[in-house]
Amino acid sequence: MTGFPTLLRKEVMRFGKVWQQTLGAPILTALLYQLIFAQAIGKHVEALPGVPYNAFLIPGLAMMSMMQNAFANASSSLIQSRITGNLVFILLPPISNAAFFSAYISAGIIRGLAVGLGILVCTAWFGLPVPAHLGFVLAFAFLGCLFMAAFGLIAGIWAEKFDQLAAFQNFLIMPLTFLSGVFYSINSLPPFWKAVSHANPVFYMIDGFRYGFFGVSDANPWLSLSVVGGFALVVSSVAFRILQSGWKLRS
């Protein structure tokens, strides 16, 4: 693991040097979502009992942005290194697979959490309360970023050009996040779409994260924690196994 601190520092500096794009842009996008939806329908909707819509929206936007940026960090870093050819300088030194995996995943988690914290700070004046269950907030934030960072690692290894990575984001990641209850409660959906939402792991991440703030949720928070933890473990294991095999990296 001796290469872990150096590789982690490299990955953090990579997105830190362009913070306007990697941190500022998603925070601004979430703030615009909040302003538009709060003004358009905030006074007419109560998604959860006793929770104003303006406040209801904030955790969902924060969690959605955290996951998208955790995914983007790991996937974009790998594919950029592969296309420019500098990946060889990471693979040649005696850096273990565990150090490589941990550095890329940790950098994705750090970027995701930084974006989430920025969104919560910038939108708190819309009425976000002090978290009712801080442990759930931290657990779902970490596991959600872990899940998506590992997913991003898989996508970055699989994709051979930016078009393939964009397709992965547009046709898989975006639908999963937008159809997960970010802007609405799934209890307002027809039975069929409610069942579909329950099959979406991202729903449990957002619903559990929201429960940490309000103490109210669409699903049992312990069930959500089990689902999210299970998916994070499975995807991380798959990502590590692919990395260990050297598929498309060393072969």
Whether residue 4 is contained in a domain is answered as no
- If DSSP states are collapsed to H, E and C, what string results for 46-109? CCECCECHHHHHHHHHHHHHHHHHHHHHHHHHHHHHHHHCCCHHHHCCCCCHHHHHHHHHHHHH
Q: pTM of the full predicted structure? A: 0.93
- List Cβ neighbours of 71 (8 Å cut-off, separation of 6 or more): 108, 148, 149, 151, 152, 155, 169, 173
Q: Give backbone dihedrals phi and psi of 48, rounded to 5 degrees, phi first.
A: -125, 145
Q: How far apart are CA 37 and CA 23, in angstroms?
A: 22
Whether residue 209 is contained in a domain is answered as yes
Whether residue 128 is contained in a domain is answered as yes
Residue 133 CB coordination number (10 Å) = 16
* pLDDT at position 1: 59
Whether residue 8 is contained in a domain is answered as no
Average pLDDT estimate for 108-114: 97
Instruction: Encode pLDDT of 29-65 as tens digits.
Output: 999 998 888 777 766 676 777 788 888 889 999 999 9
Measure the CA angle with vertex 86, ends 80 and 79; round to 5°. Answer: 20
Whether residue 97 is contained in a domain is answered as yes
Domain that holds residue 210: 18-245
Q: How far apart are CA 35 and CA 15, in angstroms?
A: 27
Q: Which of 89, 21, 244, 225 is nearest to 154 (CA)?
A: 244
Does the pLDDT of residue 250 top 80, yes or no? no
Q: How many residues does the chain have?
A: 251
Q: Does residue 37 contact residue 183 with C-beta atoms inside 8 Å? A: yes
Q: How far apart are CA 112 and CA 108, in angstroms?
A: 6
Token pair belonging to 171: 């046709």
Average pLDDT estimate for 143-164: 93
Number of structural domains found in the chain: 1
Whether residue 153 is contained in a domain is answered as yes
Average pLDDT along the chain:
90
Whether residue 91 is contained in a domain is answered as yes
Whether residue 5 is contained in a domain is answered as no
Which three-class secondary structure state does DSSP give residue 159?
A: coil
CA distances from 170 to 133, 164, 176 (A): 33, 10, 10
